[in-house]
Structure 1
């Protein structure tokens, strides 16, 4: 947006309903925003089905240029917003099929999807799609919970189990999985062991604070290398003082500045897909959670744009 504003520039509150008014299609797209409004696998609060549109609405206050990476991510990548996957609210398996199909179609065309959840169960469908295209992938998972719990009321598919199911299905390179930001009270002393026993690297928030962001990311970068990598970001990674609109809050997380600082250091990875999950607009009256989510999506797109621009 340029100043002074010309008469054809729309106010921020005049939206087409897409992320930053992106079109639904154009040639040579390298990024696609895709809504995944499924939330009936949540264990406590629900409402993340409304997150894709809330994040899109919040995106209208963002500007196109990323001053840290010095890119116009959505222009540089001919980005599109394909709308929401028509999930089945009461059927997780049919919803998985629909999400997987949409994401696989994008990845097969060389388009990097950025999914807007939805609860964290949707990530399993994204990883299924990624593994079909790239084989087992690396994973960087930002969260306050490991989401490797086996069952909940004897149900195997819920938002606390995507990463144990992904392990069982062979979707991940286990030694190249990092779960960062884990914190909070536990049901049992061995809860975190459920991830380490799978071969995953677990970095708790206290460890992250003690070691520092740069040191942790150096380990992540050295371990993952150029392996195709998926990034899954649960908004409850962030302290609830900065992101109150989520389903299972955990105090003691990073603030929004530290979070963006960490994401902006994730250069030189071979990212093949992203998702951002667990935003609950009904618990976000001031829209600060949705705005943070939209900003993180902008940062994800900037990471893709860096790679695209290097390849030109």
Structure 2
């Protein structure tokens, strides 16, 4: 059986070849793969800085430094799963609704095969299109949302489909189950005290960054796991969740966030959840001094891929235990 994995950089220099994520093969296939990396370079729903359309290629460019063995999770990713760089979904700049249609059309055959899409934005508005596709396969999913903003505003400038509104629209459309969803890391100045309450009134559990610091990592992860239980989970990771000292390349940075080490630990701590897909959004190359944000973003995606490998390893171990019991 075909097993797609990265090109070996000890045999082929990293600066050779077309830039793909982690030097995976760039092939649009749903055969013999467990995950695909997909770009959605849409940024015309951003309210401040734009340029997130260039994030997929920016992150891919730095990701060539990644290697298959993850020492922190003690697993060689490609011993247990196969994956490709699926390329980018064609977006329509300035037309968010046709872009959503394209996202759903492209993700549907991937999800129908039970493959885990790992999606690189783009601004955070793309998450609504992603969730529409996931809803077709899984029904209302649980959401684990890392961000400095709730993205549950009703509108921006009278527009209901912006990067600050996707999760309100997702609740309204029944795409996610807010009773089993959680938002982590919210912080920064707001328009009013009602902003966090709006998210809570929609049904989300909200853990602002100040509370994260107060209760600590272990308690945060416990609350995530207890909230989600064993339901299908979509993870949405806005890079501005991380402090701008570690991720300067983003459109609406907020100080007081996690370090880069903590940013990776929050992904690693999701191991054991029934994760069916991820997106990472809001990387803005124009403001990414010395590619600091690209380093972190590619590593976060790498940890997301690792979670897929860990899940596959558990499934294989469980099958082996069943066979042993039958013998």
Larger helix percent: 2
Q: Aligned pair in 2 of structure 1 residues 2, 235: CA closer, same or farther (>3 Å)? A: closer
1:14 offset after TM fit, Å? 2.0
- Conserved? CA contact 2:7–2:23, under 8 Å: no
Measure how far apart 1:10 and its partner are.
2.0
2:147 maps to which of 127, 130, 143? 143
**In structure 2, C-alpha distance between the alignment counterparts of 1:104 and 1:20, rounded to whole Å:** 24
CA distance in 2, matches of 1:162, 1:4: 39
Gapped regions of structure 2 (runs ≥ 5): 1-5, 317-327
Runs of at least 4 residues of structure 1 off by over 6 A?
A: 1-4
Q: Give the aligned partner of residue 73 of structure 2.
A: 69
Match for residue 35 of structure 1?
Answer: 39
Match of 1:310 among 289, 307, 314: 314
The aligned residue for residue 83 of structure 1 is: 87
1:238 to 205, 223, 242: 242
Deviates more, 1:302-311 or 1:15-24: 15-24
Contact residue 144 and residue 184 of structure 1 kept, 8 A: yes
Select 1:14's aligned residue among 13, 16, 27: 16
Q: 1:102 aligns with which of 102, 106, 111?
A: 106
Per mean C-alpha deviation after superposition, the further-off stretch among 66-75 and 26-35 is 66-75
Aligned to 1:286: 290
Q: Provide the C-alpha distance between the structure 2 equivalents of 1:108 and 1:90, rounded to a whole number of angstroms.
A: 29
> In structure 2, do the counterparts of structure 1 residues 157 and 303 end up closer, same or farther at CA, with 3 Å as the change threshold?
same
Contact 2:7 2:24 in 1 (8 A): no
How far the C-alpha of 1:4 sits from its partner, in A, is: 11
> Does the CA-based 8 Å contact 1:27-1:78 persist in structure 2?
no
- The answer to which of 141-150 and 256-265 deviates more is 256-265
Q: Which residue of 1 aligns with 2:3?
A: none
* Deviation of 1:311 (Å): 1.3
The superposition leaves residues 186-221 of structure 1 with CA deviations (integer Å, 9 ceiling, x where unpaired) of 011211111000010010001001001111111111
Please list, as runs of the form range in 1=range in 2, the aligned pairs for 1:1-312 lying within 5 A after superposition.
5=10, 9-23=11-25, 24=27, 25=29, 27-74=31-78, 76-312=80-316
- Structure 1 residue 69: Cα displacement: 1.7
The SS at the match of 1:124 is helix
> Structure 2 CA distance, aligned partners of 1:15 and 1:40?
31
| Secondary structure, counterpart of 2:86 in structure 1 | strand
User: Where in structure 1 are there 5+ consecutive unaligned residues?
Assistant: none
Alpha-carbon separation, structure 2, partners of 1:259 and 1:129: 27
1:162 Cα deviation from its structure 2 partner: 0.2
SS at 1:191 equivalent: helix
What is the distance in 1 between the residues matched to 2:76 and 2:97? Answer: 37
Deviation at 1:103, TM superposition (A): 1.6
Distance across 2 between alignment mates of 1:60 and 1:212: 33
Q: Secondary structure at the match of 1:175?
A: helix
Cα contact 1:152–1:158 (8 A) shared by 2: yes
Shift of 1:64: 1.3
Instruction: State the alpha-carbon separation in 1 of the partners of residues 245 and 132 from structure 2.
Output: 34
Q: Which residue is equivalent to 2:321?
A: none
TM-score, normalized by length of structure 2? 0.92
1:74 positional shift? 4.3
RMSD over aligned CA atoms reads: 1.6
3-state DSSP of counterpart to 2:92: coil
Q: Give the structure 1 partner of residue 325 of structure 2.
A: none
Higher mean alpha-carbon deviation, 69-78 vs 196-205, is at 69-78
Q: Is the 8 A contact 1:73 1:298 kept in 2?
A: no
